[in-house]
């Protein structure tokens, strides 16, 4: 990567690494690739695809994302350990642009209790790890974990060592979300000013949101001279999350008068990326979330609506279109044909779908259009998310009949195929219709997985809205999320459960000893 001009801010996305560390936000390989491709389309400069030494799944994710993505730099995270660095270098081999990102804690608290290392030993570890990483790749980032709670002189000594050993990016994280903006901006400035040769590296900020200050701290860091911001879509991440990419980017764009910096992000892709990450992880975006919340551009009060009608600028500081939200959301109906459907898919960013997936999605669209008067973009997105990558699922949904209501017993009649073979319909009872549906799945395909999350949300307004259901299952410490969408909430629930179960089956195969050593 070339050195940024003074006003260019590098966007480093860590949704696939720090974001995935959110409890329950696990993603499979195919989902990580979909997210990585979206990040690349957005114009993200660096994609942190995983922590290769942490698991075989992370190793594979970094390697495969590196194979698919050609424009963005791919980063693999590692501790200051020889094995971690060598695993990261191995995983990154096929990537067009490779970055090794190595870190070690530098705060007194972390050195004493977590690392149980003396400061001199930490400095030596920085030298050794960065030098080793530089033997493998030219682009090396070094991070001072818990940097914001590190003594300034020691931090400068660590940064000087990392730069001398060949680090090209220096990251000073606010790992525990403790900093406040003025203080954090001043810290970045002070480290740059006090460290010899600091101009030989790009400074980076990485802020957590424990006090709700991650974005404010990141922007203060940029004002203090950082030219890389580490962030995630929807602010996903450890505990309260990381700085939200969409908020950083739109703040820089909207307040360019005060914050004269540029990013390479095509902001019109933001809404699509936000929805994709939310659907895949099952982490619903809160309605009042800045930029991507359902209410971010809604004007409810009479005074505001009146102002908006007179001039949008009265209450709108950025346009919905600038983040990829179309004002006219009514798009398709039951008379729309296959060509219009394909054109719509293209417009929504689903260009690479295979013919079989498009045909099945079209069949479901027609079915939906018969049942639902207006089919919105959101409906089509939900259908596609329910379709992509499921053609080869081991257990496939065929049909579902449910008896619900106050006069029990509630029961479900479920038909599926297993391994391509039709299975006779099963009848199952339950404590309510959802329970009956899930019991039917257990009857047709016995398993021990535990349900951790069952969540329903309406894709659009109206009583005929599709229900998008997320089901999270856990088995042997591994969690997976499944999604389903349909105008019938029970069908969505069934599809979501089957989706999660199919993912678990793939996970089981992958963790079988033969697969691990392959
Ligand atoms: O929060 C943090 O300090 C991190 C580092 C590993 C960069 O995620
Ligand atoms: Zn972090």
Contact of 191 with 176, CB cutoff 8 Å: no
Residue 381 C-alpha from the chain's centroid: 17
Decide if 211 is inside a domain: yes
Decide if 359 is inside a domain: no
Query: In terms of residue numbers, what domain contains 222?
Result: 10-281
Select from 99, 106, 176 the least CA-distant residue to 145: 106
How would residue 398 be classed by pLDDT, with cut points 50, 70 and 90?
Answer: very high
CATH number, domain with residue 422: 3.30.160.270
Last residue of a domain, one of 225, 259, 281: 281
**pLDDT score, position 326:** 73
**pLDDT score, position 331:** 59
Contact of 175 with 147, CB cutoff 8 Å: yes
Overall average pLDDT of the 181-190 stretch: 98
**Any ligand 1 atom below 6 A from CB of 20:** no
Residue 414 C-alpha from the chain's centroid: 33
Which pair of structure tokens corresponds to residue 86? 């060598």
Cα–Cα dist 225/297, whole Å: 32
Structural domain tally of the chain?
A: 2
Quick one: which atom of ligand 1 is closest to the CA of 18?
Answer: 8
**pLDDT score, position 142:** 98
**pLDDT score, position 378:** 83
Contact of 502 with 394, CB cutoff 8 Å: yes
Q: Are residues 258 and 402 in the same domain?
A: no
Helix ranges restricted to H, 386-474: 433-444
Pocket test for ligand 1, best of 48, 52, 77, 148 (most atoms within 8 A of CB): 77
Overall average pLDDT of the 215-224 stretch: 98
Decide if 181 is inside a domain: yes
Cα–Cα dist 352/358, whole Å: 10
Quick one: which atom of ligand 1 is closest to the CA of 208?
Answer: 1
Whether pLDDT at 395 is above 70: yes
Whether pLDDT at 82 is above 80: yes
Which pair of structure tokens corresponds to residue 502? 């199919």
Decide if 299 is inside a domain: no
**pLDDT score, position 517:** 27
Decide if 426 is inside a domain: yes
Q: Which of 112-126, 141-155, 332-346, 459-473 has the lowest mean pLDDT?
A: 332-346
**pLDDT score, position 299:** 72
Q: Are residues 256 and 400 in the same domain?
A: no
Which pair of structure tokens corresponds to residue 292? 């991507």
b/e per residue 203-241 (b: at least 16 CB within 10 A): bbbbbbbbeebbbbbbbbbbbbbbbbbbbbbbbbbbeeb
26 CA → ligand 1 middle, Å: 18
| Protein residue with its CA nearest to atom 1 in ligand 1 | 175
Which pair of structure tokens corresponds to residue 349? 């960013």
Determine how β-strand 421-422 pairs with β-strand 411-418. antiparallel
| Protein residue with its CA nearest to atom 2 in ligand 1 | 175
Q: Are residues 270 and 404 in the same domain?
A: no
**Any ligand 1 atom below 6 A from CB of 173:** yes
Mean pLDDT of the chain: 92
Annotated binding residues for Mn(2+): 18, 206, 208, 242
Last residue of a domain, one of 260, 281, 302: 281
| Protein residue with its CA nearest to atom 8 in ligand 1 | 18
Instruction: Note the ligand closest to the C-alpha atom of 150.
Output: 1
Q: Are residues 405 and 258 in the same domain?
A: no
Decide if 379 is inside a domain: no
Which pair of structure tokens corresponds to residue 451? 């349900």
Quick one: which atom of ligand 1 is closest to the CA of 146?
Answer: 3
Overall average pLDDT of the 224-238 stretch: 97
Cα–Cα dist 18/206, whole Å: 10
pTM here is 0.88
How would residue 515 be classed by pLDDT, with cut points 50, 70 and 90?
Answer: very low
pLDDT digits (tens, 9 = 90+) for 245-275: 999 999 999 999 999 999 999 999 999 999 9
Quick one: which atom of ligand 1 is closest to the CA of 103?
Answer: 6
Overall average pLDDT of the 437-454 stretch: 96
Q: Which of 159-168, 399-408, 480-489, 508-517 has the lowest mean pLDDT?
A: 508-517
Cα–Cα dist 278/197, whole Å: 42
Last residue of a domain, one of 251, 281, 311: 281
pLDDT digits (tens, 9 = 90+) for 421-432: 999 999 999 999
pLDDT digits (tens, 9 = 90+) for 276-304: 999 999 999 999 999 999 889 887 667 77
Select from 476, 482, 435, 473 the least CA-distant residue to 451: 473
**Any ligand 1 atom below 6 A from CB of 145:** yes
Q: Are residues 60 and 199 in the same domain?
A: yes
Contact of 341 with 365, CB cutoff 8 Å: yes
Residue that wins the pLDDT comparison between 25 and 274: 274
Neighbours of ion ligand 2 (CB under 5 A): 18
CATH number, domain with residue 88: 3.20.20.70
């Amino acid at each position: 990567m070339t050195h940024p001009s003074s006003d260019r801010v590098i966007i480093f996305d860590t949704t696939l690494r720090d974001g995935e560390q959110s409890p329950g936000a696990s993603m499979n390989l195919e989902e990580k690739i979909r997210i990585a491709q979206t990040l690349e389309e957005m114009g993200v400069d660096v994609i942190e695809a995983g922590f290769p030494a942490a698991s075989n799944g992370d190793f594979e994710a970094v390697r495969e994302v590196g194979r698919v993505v050609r424009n963005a730099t791919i980063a693999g995270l590692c501790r200051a350990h020889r094995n971690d660095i060598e695993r990261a270098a191995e995983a990154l081999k096929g990537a067009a642009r490779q970055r090794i990102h190595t870190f070690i804690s530098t705060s007194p608290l972390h050195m004493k209790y977590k690392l149980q290392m003396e400061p001199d030993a930490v400095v030596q570890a920085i030298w050794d790890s960065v030098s080793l990483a530089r033997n493998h790749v030219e682009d090396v980032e070094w991070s001072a974990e818990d940097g914001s709670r590190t003594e300034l002189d020691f931090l400068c000594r660590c940064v000087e060592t990392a730069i001398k050993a060949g680090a090209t990016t220096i990251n000073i994280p606010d790992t525990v979300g403790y900093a406040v903006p003025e203080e954090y901006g001043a810290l970045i400035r002070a480290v740059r000013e006090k460290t010899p040769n600091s101009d030989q590296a790009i400074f980076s900020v990485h802020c957590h949101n424990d006090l709700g200050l991650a974005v404010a701290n990141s922007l203060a860091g940029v004002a203090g001279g950082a030219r890389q911001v580490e962030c995630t879509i929807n602010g996903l991440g450890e505990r309260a999350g990381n700085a939200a990419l969409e908020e950083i980017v739109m703040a820089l764009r909207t307040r360019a008068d005060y914050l004269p910096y540029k990013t390479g992000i095509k902001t019109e892709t933001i809404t699509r990326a936000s929805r994709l990450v939310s659907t895949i992880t099952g982490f619903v975006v809160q309605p009042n979330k800045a930029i991507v919340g359902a209410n971010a551009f809604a004007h409810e009060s009479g005074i505001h609506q009146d102002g908006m009608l007179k001039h949008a600028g009265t209450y709108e500081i950025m346009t919905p279109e600038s983040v990829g939200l179309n004002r006219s959301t009514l798009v398709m109906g039951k008379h729309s044909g296959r060509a219009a459907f394909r054109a719509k898919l293209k417009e929504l960013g689903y260009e690479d779908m295979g013919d079989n997936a498009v045909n099945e999605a079209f069949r479901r669209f027609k079915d939906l259009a018969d049942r639902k008067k207006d089919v919105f973009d959101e409906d089509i997105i939900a259908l596609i998310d329910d379709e992509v990558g499921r053609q080869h699922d081991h257990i496939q949904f065929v049909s579902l009949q449910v008896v619900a209501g106050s006069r029990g017993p509630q029961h479900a009649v479920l038909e599926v195929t297993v391994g391509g073979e039709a299975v006779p319909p099963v009848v199952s009872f339950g404590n309510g219709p959802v329970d009956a549906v899930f019991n039917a799945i257990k009857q047709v395909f016995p398993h021990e997985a535990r349900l951790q999350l069952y969540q329903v949300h309406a894709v659009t307004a109206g009583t005929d809205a599709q229900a998008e259901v997320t089901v999270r299952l856990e088995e042997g410490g591994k969690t997976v999320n499944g999604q389903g969408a349909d105008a019938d909430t029970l069908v969505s629930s069934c599809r979501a459960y089957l989706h999660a179960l199919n993912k678990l089956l793939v996970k089981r195969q992958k963790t079988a000893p033969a697969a691990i050593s392959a």
